[in-house]
Chain A
């Protein structure tokens, strides 16, 4: 264990159970551990501060207390500007384009494994560690592999699919080897004050957790009422702002119809919500862009693999066809109902994550965008 004592590891601490146990495990393994928390951007609120939910004063105090208990230094890194620019502005822009982004993925891409990692390396650390449930392994050829966490229910490889070889070589996921129940036990065993805490939140920068309210406050232009149409352009109702709806949504549309109708696409250019039947909702394929192959090499041939289209989705078998270094197409064996542009399509070979990309606008939306305007009312 003494061999680790000259290896500095910066551990990203949130005050939560997973990162606290990650820090504790690293200390146990004899590393020179430095705790660090990112101060993220938070909304200004009238009559008081609305804190980013990932770094409220309470969580910061918890993390500091745990670091003191573990006998490691603890620092807070001012991450507000880069987070606002890369995550918050991006979130708003993507909604403006009618897609539903995954901020956690962008945060891992631009903040955790870029800004924070670079800061860790500048502090002479050899590794950045986080409390993610995922594993890193090295193949016989020396290549780094990203694998699912031991706890399949907690696996977070989906949001880590943006990592490359360089980043994996500099990263440790100490809790990825344990099931969550075991992690909680370790926390209790260490007397960590966070053993019974809730898991952390996505959309951490939305103070009250209500992203529709957030968009209405920060981008009122994208929350304008507009028409609800069928695929053929027929208007059958009015929506109250595109960001209020998600693909596959059936309830709360306020429309009369003989058959159940679902949100199948949005057209932000015309501020139009497109609805259709269950059959129209189903998609058997998707294309993804901004693709990251974890190996660093684009596969030369089409191959079969499993694809997750949302963080919580089950992996579904598909034929993967790399189109170029930036894009791939996935052809599913069976149509899926909730392929959502902006979310990531992440490719697995069993428990190995091969990479992923961001789902492009699907064909339905394209066809409506390209179809002639039905009436002047469709214009914003």
Chain B
């Protein structure tokens, strides 16, 4: 493939692992390879690394180390939080009512759907406005005495809208419901202070903040008992069975530490790049509209709908021009479905097929942005001209 440039603007999908993180991980593959559960010195060395990592996370999340559970990533954290808390509540007092937003990540949406359709729970999906912000009145009215778990995404992956988590968690607590937030997109870009946020559970995934793939964590407030999703040995205080992935856990802690040590530096860069991108697209690409909240959005996140353009086809054209992007409706099997998030925000089915997400990262440059804006404008004009059927 003869591509001159290669520009990655899909950092919401995943980020490259920071080389500093890789360096810290390496010894745990070949030297300190012990099983942290073992009694001997090899085990103790690994155990120390795991517990140091837990302390690092606890410090950034402003919680106790014992409140951190290591998992295989964001999806597992969401599953464990919601399914685990929902089952425990049902066993203790019979409550079965679960509340989510219509713009949750699949890991939350599908888990709750399964609980509702197969396992006898009751699901309530509250409403969002045109920007994807939770309608607080609707949300408040949805709470009932038997509401056990509420899960609202901190920042949406598709449109980047940030929710007022502190306000929403307070409302849930007034009705004695547990509040979980999927903070997978927010980690590294927004505060993860669980005291300020007032959340009972919070999910993160390392590869979204320049850490390795396949590792994540769940904050679970003291006193909350989770029915494990994955049963087996007594790892993670009986909350998550399975041998610890030492190199990845160490890598995650390092990555999170770097992200918050260098927080101002990186988020300022993201914002500058994002704003240049949004301005460039809105003023140069015909039929482009910003989706999500204009201000309350992730620093790295730009998302659009493009009138009359098929998101899938657009990604193909962009890829051949060396631009890596994504779309809420895209699918590698050529069977695009309108984005559920955009439908929930009130967009038409046709519009919801034409979405584009461009998410900037640490290495993104102003030249990259300008090139992408040019390519996008050119491609959209071409596609609009060849519209068939």
Q: How far is the CB of B369 from chain A (nearest CB, A)?
A: 23
Contact in complex: B386, A73 (CB < 8 Å) = no
The yes or no answer to B49 lying at the interface (CB within 8 A) is no
Partner of A73, one of B320, B333, B388: B320
Contact in complex: B313, A124 (CB < 8 Å) = no
Residues of B within 8 A of A76 (CB): 312, 332-335
Contact in complex: A118, B334 (CB < 8 Å) = no
Q: Output the nearest chain A residue to B2 by Cβ-Cβ distance.
A: A32
In the A-B complex, list the 3 residue pairs whose CB atoms are closest, starting with the nearest.
A39-B334, A76-B334, A75-B316
Given contacts A32-B1, A73-B1, A122-B382, contact A38 B320 (CB under 8 A): no
CA distance A316 to B2 in the complex (A): 48
CA distance A32 to B334 in the complex (A): 22
CA distance A85 to B389 in the complex (A): 9
Residues of B within 8 A of A77 (CB): 313, 316, 334
Given contacts A5-B2, A57-B333, A85-B389, contact A78 B312 (CB under 8 A): yes
The yes or no answer to B368 lying at the interface (CB within 8 A) is no
Partner of A122, one of B1, B317, B335, B336: B317
Partner of B333, one of A60, A79, A115, A119: A60
Contact in complex: A78, B332 (CB < 8 Å) = no
Partner of B335, one of A64, A73, A80, A118: A80
Residues of A within 8 A of B258 (CB): none
Partner of A72, one of B1, B312, B389: B1
A residues with CB within 8 A of B: 5-6, 8, 32, 34, 37-39, 55, 57, 60, 64, 72-73, 75-82, 85, 115, 118-119, 122-124
Given contacts A34-B1, A124-B320, contact A39 B335 (CB under 8 A): yes
CA distance A123 to B313 in the complex (A): 10
Residues of A within 8 A of B336 (CB): 78
Partner of A79, one of B316, B334, B383: B334
Q: How far is the CB of A220 from chain B (nearest CB, A)?
A: 27
Q: How far is the CB of B227 from chain A (nearest CB, A)?
A: 32
Contact in complex: A78, B335 (CB < 8 Å) = yes
Residues of A within 8 A of B310 (CB): 78
Q: How far is the CB of A49 from chain B (nearest CB, A)?
A: 10
For the A-B complex with A60-B334, A75-B334, A122-B383 known, give 15 more contacts whose Cβ atoms are closer than 8 Å.
Answer: A34-B320, A39-B333, A39-B334, A39-B335, A55-B334, A73-B1, A73-B320, A76-B312, A77-B316, A78-B335, A78-B336, A81-B389, A115-B388, A123-B316, A124-B320
Q: How far is the CB of A7 from chain B (nearest CB, A)?
A: 10
* B-side interface size class: 10 to 19
The yes or no answer to B319 lying at the interface (CB within 8 A) is yes
24 contacts between A and B (CB under 8 A): A5-B2, A6-B2, A8-B2, A32-B1, A38-B334, A55-B334, A60-B334, A72-B1, A73-B320, A75-B319, A76-B312, A76-B332, A76-B333, A76-B334, A76-B335, A77-B313, A77-B316, A77-B334, A78-B310, A78-B334, A78-B335, A115-B388, A119-B386, A122-B386
Q: How far is the CB of A95 from chain B (nearest CB, A)?
A: 23
CA distance A38 to B333 in the complex (A): 9
Q: How far is the CB of B382 from chain A (nearest CB, A)?
A: 6
Q: Output the nearest chain A residue to B320 by Cβ-Cβ distance.
A: A123
CA distance A37 to B313 in the complex (A): 12
Contact in complex: B334, A73 (CB < 8 Å) = no
- Cβ contacts B363-389/A at 8 Å (1 or 0 each): 000000000000000000011001011
Which chain B residues numbered 83 to 111 have a C-beta less than 8 Å away from chain A? none
Which chain B residues numbered 278 to 337 have a C-beta less than 8 Å away from chain A? 310, 312-313, 316-317, 319-320, 332-336
Contact in complex: A123, B317 (CB < 8 Å) = yes
Residues of A within 8 A of B383 (CB): 122
CA distance A122 to B357 in the complex (A): 22
Residues of B within 8 A of A55 (CB): 334
